[in-house]
């Protein structure tokens, strides 16, 4: 019954788009209204049937608890994605493949300008645990201040 109403509404929509006549628009509006009412009437019945089929046993894989968890979790659908061929990816698998292809094209390895020996030396140094080869020399705060500030600025900072 619902499928027939949907097909009828689509047929009326196509007819109205082609003719743009007020009579076809009125028929389309009537079909839309009837479909909405039918869906509104059927929804509670479908929910009731679904709820009655739920159980909390192992044989039904704890469907009651799974349904509760799903209802409590907010639903955020992933929108359709357009493929390189111009088609729409609708299923989760199709979307994953489209994203994988996109990221494979965007994120290419960076071509290094270093020699292989330099890269190996850096990788070896990064993998070696412990302290750096040259220990950090102790320093005073005044040495840092003097090296980064001109003398007049340093005096100004101390005075004010």
Q: HSE (CB half, 13 Å, CA atoms) of 64?
A: 8
Same domain for 40 and 8 = yes
Residue 131: pLDDT over 90: no
pLDDT-derived band at 27, boundaries 50, 70, 90: very high
Same domain for 111 and 63 = no
**158 assigned to some structural domain:** no
State the pLDDT at residue 148.
60
Candidate from 23-37, 41-55, 89-103 with smallest mean pLDDT: 41-55
Same domain for 14 and 64 = yes
- Coil vs helix vs strand at 99: helix
| N-term to C-term CA, the chain | 86
The DSSP symbol for 84 reads: T
Q: Is the dihedral of CA 76, 82, 83, 88 positive or negative?
A: positive
**154 assigned to some structural domain:** no
Residue 60 has a CB neighbour count (10 Å cut-off) of 12
Same domain for 35 and 19 = yes
Residue 111: pLDDT over 70: yes
Give the integer Cα–Cα distance in Å for 96 and 115.
Answer: 37
Percentage with pLDDT > 90 across the chain: 34
Same domain for 72 and 6 = yes
Across residues 13-35, what is the average pLDDT? 94
Residue 138: pLDDT over 90: no
Q: Considering its fold, how many domains does the chain have in total?
A: 2
State the pLDDT at residue 39.
93
Across residues 147-158, what is the average pLDDT? 53
The residue that leads in pLDDT, 57 or 4, is 4
Across residues 101-125, what is the average pLDDT? 84
Q: Which residues face 123 on adjacent strands?
A: none
Q: What is the pTM of this model?
A: 0.39
Same domain for 92 and 118 = yes
Same domain for 81 and 27 = no
Same domain for 106 and 93 = yes
Burial of 28 (0-12, 13-18, 19+ CB in 10 A): buried
Domain residue limits at 86: 77-130
Same domain for 86 and 60 = no
Give the integer Cα–Cα distance in Å for 66 and 54.
Answer: 9
Same domain for 67 and 19 = yes
Q: Supply the mean pLDDT for the chain.
A: 82
Residue 160: pLDDT over 50: no
H-helix or E-strand containing 89? strand 88-89
């Amino acid at each position: 019954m619902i499928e027939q109403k949907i097909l009828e509404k689509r047929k009326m929509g196509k007819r109205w788009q082609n003719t743009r006549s007020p009579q076809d628009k009125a028929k389309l509006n009537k079909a839309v209204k009837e479909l909405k009412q039918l869906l509104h009437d059927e929804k509670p019945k479908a929910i009731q049937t679904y709820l009655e089929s739920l159980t909390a046993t192992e044989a039904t894989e704890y469907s009651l608890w799974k349904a509760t968890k799903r209802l409590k979790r907010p639903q955020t659908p992933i929108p359709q994605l357009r493929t390189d061929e111009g088609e729409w990816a609708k299923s989760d698998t199709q979307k994953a493949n489209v994203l994988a292809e996109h990221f494979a094209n965007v994120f290419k390895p960076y071509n290094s300008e270093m020699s292989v020996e330099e890269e190996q030396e850096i990788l070896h140094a990064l993998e070696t645990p412990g302290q750096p080869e040259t220990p950090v020399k102790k320093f005073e705060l005044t040495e840092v201040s003097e090296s980064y500030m001109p003398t007049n600025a340093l005096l100004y900072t101390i005075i004010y």
